[in-house]
Amino acid sequence: MKDFQHYNAASVDEAISLLQEFNGKARLFAGGTDLLGTLKADILADYPEALINIKSIGGLDFIKEDDAGLTIGALAKLIDIAESSVIKKTYPILAQAAESVASPEIRNMGTVAGNLCQETRCWYYRYPHNMGGRIECFRKGGKSCPAVKGDNRYHAIFEGKKCFAVCPSDMAMAMAALNASITITGPEGKKTMPIMEFYKTMGCALKPDEILTEIIVPRPPDHTAQIFSKFRVRESVDFAIASVATAITMENKFCKDVRIILGAVAPTPYRATAAEDTLKGKSITPSVAETAAAAAVTGAKPLRKNAYKVEIVKTLVKRAIEKTGEFLA
């Protein structure tokens, strides 16, 4: 690792001030489960001059519920979300997603904001500089995405354009299914945006002098089944090859409201609106689940080596819908 300066921020304002001082050449540091790996491999386009530790900021690790819903502080650990009785009772999809992240060691260190803001896992972007030289992909300022003609087994099948890396966050998918919003704090104060708008093709929408400070999750309606599932090579530790997060509200055995979010198949969390429309107003039967699953992959444009993801997505969506039927039977 190269030399860098290290600061323990005592407050959000101090952290923002330090980010401004280093003018885009500083990185925030909390759990460090993603950042330290990127530094050791020297994969970042610009190696940071400073790391700003925000674990030293008190009061950002909360999990609070009121009549309107749930608020989670940026420094809440994944293990705390997975084990929270409040979350398990009313927002179980968040606990399911947190429990699915990596290993217990990672969940004990990793924060919810870190999971939401982590760098993509694309192996071209992550290729270590000391193993033959940096791969100048489009994300690092190059002219093209090497995944298009290269090994693209784990890349996007939806909305891939100049970069085909996928959003790696499990928590983002679960939170999007519950229509969560995030609060960002910067030099000009706080702003809130839907989590679906937080993600762009080239990463999250945080500016260099901003901090994600909390997540706001509205209370789901009664009779809402929430399911998160993902397919991965090694069940214990791997990132998703594909995932699905569903929140389906039933009324008199009919689907009243539906949110289906697909993960690891697009640069951002991908909302399968065609599948949602197929379900709305219908009761859940095996044929309806199969039709919705087929609709979930409408518009998919696989690359040469990742067409298999289409079938995985269909299977995950079908199983989630069937589980919803069983849950609310």
Q: What is the pLDDT of residues 253-268, one digit of tens each?
A: 999 999 999 999 999 9
Instruction: Express the helix, strand and coil content of the chain in percent, nearest 5 each.
Output: 30, 25, 45
Q: Residue 328 — pLDDT band, cuts 50, 70, 90?
A: low
Q: Note the pLDDT tens digit of each residue in 157-200.
A: 999 989 999 999 999 999 999 999 999 999 999 999 999 999 99
Joined tokens for residue 101: 């992240």
At 248 the three-state DSSP class reads strand
Residue 329: pLDDT above 80? no
All domains in the chain, ordered by first residue: 63-117+179-218 (3.30.465.10), 224-327 (3.30.390.50)
| pTM of structure | 0.97
Q: What are the CA-CA distances from residue 54 to residues 7, 13, 80, 141, 154 (Å)? A: 9, 11, 18, 29, 32
Q: Residue 1 — pLDDT band, cuts 50, 70, 90?
A: confident
How far is CA 118 from its chain centroid? 8
